[in-house]
Structure formats: structure tokens, C-alpha cells
A and B are shown apart, each in its own frame.
Chain A
Amino acid sequence: MISAQNLTKKFGRIIALDSVSFDITPGEFVFLTGPSGSGKTTLLRLIMREIKPDAGKLTLQGPVKIHEYRRTVGTVFQDFKLLADRSVYENIALPLEIMGAVSADIDKAVKKAIDLVELSARTDLFPAQLSGGELQRVAIARAIVTRPKLILADEPTGNLDPKTAKTIVKLLSTIHEQLKTTVLMATHNANIVNHLGKRVIALDLGKVTNDNPKGKYE
């Protein structure tokens, strides 16, 4: 699914990633851990093809054209990135609209995604009317509505209280199990990582310091 070999990325003199190597197979749930500035977001941006590596090789499964590739990836952001002037339903429908899906298909897929994140009672509300946990659920529904093969989550619990954060991660875990989606989640929430006992790739100062199939946050 994702194969990185000696991946290096620099921003001026700063080395964000330094010879990073790992492989992620389809259907895996992987935590990407490390302190701020360790290179987690840079790695996710490389996988999203927002930026290019300076050295090494990153092999990604999917179409060659960037916009087509991104349609096969669901992304969840720490700051949700929901459109304020669109309702919950419209925000979730956005990726399908972009793909040019017909209204009937959009409706069917959006309703399924809403059911999965348990937001049926909130479909007509706008982001300003929702709690932090609900906002992140909307963002997750938007990420899964196209049934992507890969979900990238960049600190999805960063802005949430511990209880809500646990619920969100549980939701991602459920989606991973039900839809067999590969999930790569960047976090520095030790409780969550330790609770789930999934694979952990730890980064520090741009290097992989640990890659454990049933890892803990260190």
C-alpha cells in the first residue's frame, strides 16, 4: 500500500525526514507517533503528494494523476477543515460532488456514512452548531464516504477532550475493521496508542526510532 525507502525531506537547512523506511500493507492500522517537529505531518503530506521527497523512494498504490490519487485517500485533519457555509450533509457529500457522482449515488453514500458515524440527527446542522467530537465525526464521515482504500488522520484527536478522543479513535478502528480500510494515524496521544495495541511507527527528529507491530507510545 505504502512503501518508503530512505525517504528524505528537507525544508531549507531543516531535515524534516531523514532516510525513513517502512512498508504498510493493505488493511493495516498504523499509529505514527512522535513529538511535535518529529516529521509526522511531513510524512503524511508526502503520502498525500502535497510535497515531493528530496531523496529516497515513496511508492504509493493508486492512480498517477495527483487529483485522481487523492480521491482514493480519505483524510482527517486535526482542525476538521469543514466548510462553515455547508450543512453536515453537504460537507460529507463534497468529495463525491468533486468526483462528479450523480445525486442519487451521493445521497445513498452520504446516508450510509452518516449512519456509521452516528450523526443521523445532525444532518441539516451547520458546523457552528456542532461540538468538537461531532465535527470530527463529520470529518471522518467525509473521509470514508468515497470508500477509500487509505485513511490518513493527522492528529484527529488533537483538539478533543480525552473521552471524545477515545470515541473518535474507536470509530476509526470500527471503520478499519468493517471496511477493511488501511489507516495511518499520526498522534501523540499515548493513552489511545497504548489502549489499541496496533502497529506503531515512532519518529523523532525525522528518523524512525521504533517500528513495532504491537507497539506502545514511548
Chain B
Amino acid sequence: MNSPTSTAWSRIRRSPYQALAAISIMTMTLFLGSIFFLVAAGSQSVLKYFETRPQVNAFFKSDVVPTTQAVDLIKSKLETTGLVESVRYVSKEEALQIYKDLNKSDPLLLEAVTANMLPASIEVSAKNPSDLKTIAEALKTEPDVEDVRFAEDIVNQLAVWTNSVRLIGFSLVGAHIFITFIISLLIIGIKVSNRRDEIVLYQLLGATGGYISAPFVWEGILYGLTGAVIAWGVSYLILLYSTPFLIRFLTGIPILPVPVGFMLTVLGGELLLGAVIGGLGGLLAVRRFLKA
């Protein structure tokens, strides 16, 4: 007895060029989809990384050792604005330790520096990067604060870039999904048309719409699944190949190598998307014929 999947498989084998066309377009779309998804996920992680770093640093005058009360006063002033995520005081000793950690490979730089030479500071993380300027302005009004630095531009540019990647990705992949859907519909539609007499016979023998549609739907699903596996494999290979370069490029930002679990989730998503596009294409192609 022929199951819908085995019928679908034998139909694919009997028209290899049509199958090749369907799988190629499916692969191309899902490959584009996975590349854009990986770039979007990567830039999102980079943005998250920068958002969670202290974004405003207020340095006290180097001859000032702020009292606990003075620091607490600044902290409470900032917290009452409702704009800050966290506030951390870095004393002169802690600053020296950070300096030592950063320059541990160069003893000459360490010898000449003492805690008194370094300023104490306050590190502030904002809830929203757009409030960085307001926080910085508030800190500048403090009499003991000598300098305020904040990473407004980096975070804002990253946010703009991430949004652009998402927007371009969505538009491009969305358009490709639509084209792929139409091509699947056409290819399976041709097959349905070629089997017109067979379908009419099935109807005369009492077959339900589901029985007639199932092999065509499975055919579309098989195209989608094959395309998804190829697209995922190629994009994963490209990612693995470029990981050493990307690690150097993103020094200090711990998003690479991409965990295998994450890539398997991407594969799952692509399989689902491919199956839905192909299956829906097959279903619509045969339903259109059955309705006519």
C-alpha cells in the first residue's frame, strides 16, 4: 500500500529537474533567512553587551577622596530620576586594581602609578540608552566631579544598525519567502495538472480531498525540509569558517563561538519554515485544482 510520503517521494524521483528547481529556490531563501537571522542575533547580542556595560563614567577630581555620604547622596539623586539601572562607586584603590589588571603585561607602566594618582569614579548604567545624556548632564553639576564620559554614540549607532539589519532582513527574506511560495505553488501546480486524469479517477473512486492532497502536500514539505537542511549546513559552515576572524574583530565581546544548541534551534526554525512554505504551496496548488 502506498503511503502519501512514499507516493510523494516517487513523484519527486520521476521529475528530478522540477524537484531541483523547487529545492534550489527553497535553499536560497532559507540560506538568506539564516544569514540575516544570525547577523541580527549577533548584533542584538553586541548591543545587549554594550547596554549592560557601565555607560556613564563620572570621574572625581584626582585630589578628592569622596566620603561615603557624598557618594550616597549622588547615588540617591540619580536613583530618584528613575532613569538609571545601576550605580557603582569605584574607589581610588579599585581604580588602581583595574589599571593593574589592564596593564599586567607591562610592569614599567605599573611601577610609576599609585592609587592617589588615579581618580575615584561613579559608573552608571541607564535603563534606556537615550537617557545617557540627561544622566551625564546631571553628574556634571556635581562640584567634585571633574570629567564625565559616556558611550552614547556607540550604543545609539549599534541600536540603529541592529534595527536596520532587522528591517532589511525582514523585507528581503519576506520577499524571498513570497517568491519561493509562488514557485512551489507553480511547480506543484504543474504536477497536479499533469496528473489531472489520475485525480479525476481518484474522485470517481471515492477519494476524499485529503487523500488526493496529501502526496502533493508531502512533496512540498520534502522540498522545504531538504532546502532547510542544505541552507542551514552551508550557513553553519560559513559561520564556523569565519569564527576565528570574527573573534578577533569582536575582541572582548563574548558572543563567539556560537553554541551548537543555538544552531540546532536555528535548524529547527528553518525546517519548520521550509515545511510550512512547501506544504502550503502544495496544498494550495491541489486545492485550486479540486475546487475547479
A residues at B contact (CB < 8 Å): 48, 50, 67-71, 75, 81, 83, 85, 90, 93-95, 97-99, 103, 106
Contacts and interface: CB of A to CB of B under 8 A. Distances in A.
B169 to A, nearest CB: 44
Contacts of B205: 70-71, 75, 94-95, 98
A101 to B, nearest CB: 8
A217 B279 CA distance: 54
A98 B197 contact: no
Nearest to B197: A81
Q: At the interface, is chain B mostly helix, strand, loop or mixed?
A: helix
A95 B206 contact: yes
Contacts of B203: 67, 70
B102 interface: no
A81 B197 CA distance: 8
10 contacts: A67-B203, A67-B207, A69-B206, A70-B205, A71-B205, A75-B204, A81-B197, A83-B198, A83-B201, A98-B202
A71 B206 contact: yes
B210 to A, nearest CB: 10
Task: Choose among A69, A70, A95, A98 the residue with the greatest number of B CB atoms under 10 Å from its CB.
Answer: A98
A39 B197 CA distance: 22
Contacts of B10: 85
Nearest to A84: B198
Contact of B201 (A69, A81, A85): A81
Contacts of A98: 202, 205-207, 211
B251 interface: no
Nearest to A73: B206
A93 B206 contact: no
A71 B10 CA distance: 26
B208 interface: yes
Interface of B: 1-2, 10, 14, 197-198, 201-208, 211
A172 B211 CA distance: 30
B206 A68 contact: yes
A106 B1 contact: yes
Task: Choose among B198, B206, B208, B211 the residue with the greatest number of A CB atoms under 10 Å from its CB.
Answer: B206
Nearest to A71: B206
Contacts of A99: 206
Nearest to B202: A98
Contacts of A69: 206
Given A83-B198, A98-B211, 8 more contacts: A67-B203, A69-B206, A71-B205, A75-B205, A81-B204, A90-B2, A98-B205, A98-B206
Given A81-B197, A83-B198, A98-B211, A70 B204 contact: yes
Contacts of B197: 81
B206 A97 contact: no
A187 B142 CA distance: 108
B122 to A, nearest CB: 75
A93 B204 CA distance: 15
B206 A67 contact: yes
A192 to B, nearest CB: 24
A93 B205 CA distance: 11
A90 B207 CA distance: 16
B256 to A, nearest CB: 52
Contacts of A71: 205-206
Contacts of A50: 204
A90 B14 CA distance: 18
Contacts of B208: 67
A71 to B, nearest CB: 4
A168 to B, nearest CB: 19
A93 B2 CA distance: 10
A159 to B, nearest CB: 16
A172 to B, nearest CB: 18
Contact of B1 (A68, A81, A95, A97): A97
Contacts of B2: 90, 97
Contacts of B204: 48, 50, 70, 75, 81
A13 to B, nearest CB: 24
Contacts of B206: 67-71, 95, 98-99
Nearest to A107: B1
A83 B2 CA distance: 14
A69 B202 CA distance: 13
Q: Which A-B residue pairs are the 9 nearest by beta carbons?
A: A71-B206, A70-B206, A98-B207, A67-B206, A95-B205, A81-B201, A67-B208, A98-B205, A103-B1
Contacts of A83: 198, 201
